[in-house]
Amino acid sequence: MKNTNTNTSSSNSNTSNSNHSQFDHKPPRNDDTSTTIDSRFNQTLKNVQGLLKGRSIPGKVLLTRRTDPADELNMPSPHYRRTQSAKDTRTSEPAKKLPEEDVRNTTKEDNIPNVGKLKLSTSNVENVSNGVQSSTIGARATDSARVMKFTKELSGTAVRLERLRELAWSGVPPYMRPTTWRLLLGYAPPNSDRREGVLRRKRVEYLDCLSQFYDIPDTERSDDEINMLRQIAVDCPRTVPDVSFFQQDQVQKSLERVLYTWAIRHPASGYVQGINDLVTPFLVVFLSEYLEGSIDNWSISTLSLQKISEIEADCYWCLSKLLDGMQDHYTFAQPGIQRLVYKLKEIVRRIDEPVSRHMDEQGLEFLQFAFRWFNCLLIREIPFNLVTRLWDTYLAEGDALPDFLVYIYASFLLTWSDELQKLDFQEMVMFLQHLPTQNWSHQELEMVLSRAYMWHSMFNDSPRHLAT
């Protein structure tokens, strides 16, 4: 991830004007011109709305490109663009890039200034959301065409991971999530002939870790290990408290075993509060292979001890794979999170200057609310039934996830731009700690992800756009 220098001198900013004029500061416009800009940006949002209606729920969308629905089965999805990390460029074929012409047409033709005007995408988002028919909510992940694509990809002798990421970004059919997530995280190998053997070996290895580190008396633990185990035991009952399933004793015991084993084997970070939340999506997804119906009616006691241990092993290894790419998020002082919070503040300032200025005037620091978002990956901020859908996109991003989180959380925050500007410091703190998301559906979440993609396309590959 490239760090952004917010102290770039004005001379450097002027130098970049010729190359990035569509994002640089502009003189104030008269009302007629402003109206034209508004209408053009609204037209861009209507393009998003058209994609929403024509293709159910999109993931990452190209704002200026349409594909005939009749050709969709025979063409690669245009919605996907995953930011490549250095690791990606060494180990896999290049991801499909968003054509520069599409981004240029979206931004240059609409002539969007860099301050204040991008706020239109949040202030008008309700118009877009209202245009999504209720019958299509969540359908993106389960329509028959996409199910066929997933089935074809997962049934091959060697899964093409880039293609699977492309499909998963827009949502995975629930019954395909366990297999898809194992593959996306690199826990299960793409080669189907090796998959069963690898999973069996990794599950046995987890059991060996339990017997070595967990199933021992406290007399064989250090004081730090005893204190860590006690903290985990305190945090497990607090995990997703509004979902009764997680209050079952056996569920909390499984969480405790996974978390303690992970912490012992990752001494650089050890256990950090918040990691307990990160196990829950894996636990629910891997349990869904054996338990049917609503999670509210699940009982882990109906499963054999062998099945429970296999599920715990999958949770352990997938948690390890996820956090391998975010190690500095959970080491001392959590510098990785602090760096992303700083970048989030800069992105919000460029997208929505009025709300950024209001937060500064009120003395509200982004760390006061966004730290928990990055620490728990938004699990505590949205209804739990939406978490697995959000994590489809997380896991599809792969190594590029930390960078993309900034845009997701900027989109999430600016959902309430107008409300925030009316609140004082204390009111904002209370509002951001108890966001009104309890009635959210897939519709609102998909809009957050679509805006995040749009802003990622505008800003992420152009760091000078973030310079003052």
Q: Across the chain, what does the average pLDDT equal?
A: 79
Is residue 272 left, alpha or beta, with left meaning phi > 0 and alpha meaning psi from -120 to 50?
beta
Q: Kindly indicate the confidence band of residue 365, based on its pLDDT and cuts at 50, 70 and 90.
A: very high
Query: What are the tens digits of pLDDT across the range 165-211?
Result: 999 999 999 999 999 999 999 999 999 999 999 999 999 999 999 99
E strands of 135-221, at which residues?
Answer: none
- Tokens 């003395």 belong to 363
Under DSSP, the state recorded for 6 is: T
Q: Give the three-class secondary structure for 161.
A: helix
Q: Does the structure show a pLDDT above 70 at 362?
A: yes
Distance CA 275, CA 235 (A): 10
More confident residue, 120 or 425: 425
Question: Is 48's pLDDT higher than 90?
Answer: no
pTM attached to this predicted model: 0.73
Q: What is the pLDDT of residue 80?
A: 46
Of residues 72 and 446, more confidence is placed in 446
- Give residues with Cβ within 8 angstroms of 249, minimum separation 6: none
- CB-based burial label for 75 (10 Å; 0-12, 13-18, 19+): exposed
Residue 30 DSSP code: P
Instruction: Identify the pLDDT of residue 142.
Output: 61
* pLDDT value of residue 459: 86
- Distant-in-sequence, close-in-space partners of 217: CB < 8 Å, separation ≥ 6: none
Distances (CA, A) of 204 to 62, 201, 208, 283, 311: 45, 5, 6, 18, 12
Identify the pLDDT of residue 76. 35
Domains of the chain: 1-143+331-468 (1.10.472.80), 186-324 (1.10.8.270)
Residue 125 has pLDDT above 60, yes or no: no
Reported as a single tens digit per residue, the pLDDT across 209-239 is 999 999 999 999 999 999 999 999 999 999 9
* 410 vs 363: CA distance, rounded Å: 19
Q: What is the pLDDT of residue 325?
A: 87
**Amino acid symbol at 425:** F
- Give the integer Cα–Cα distance in Å for 59 and 79: 6
| Helix, strand, coil percentages, rounded to 5, for the chain | 65, 0, 35
The HSE-up count of residue 390 (CA atoms within 13 Å, CB side) is 27
What is d(CA 200, CA 223) in angstroms, rounded to the nearest whole number?
A: 34
Of 32 and 212, the one with more pLDDT: 212
Region 13-41: mean pLDDT is 43
- pLDDT 10s digits, 283-327: 999 999 999 999 999 999 999 999 999 999 999 999 999 999 898
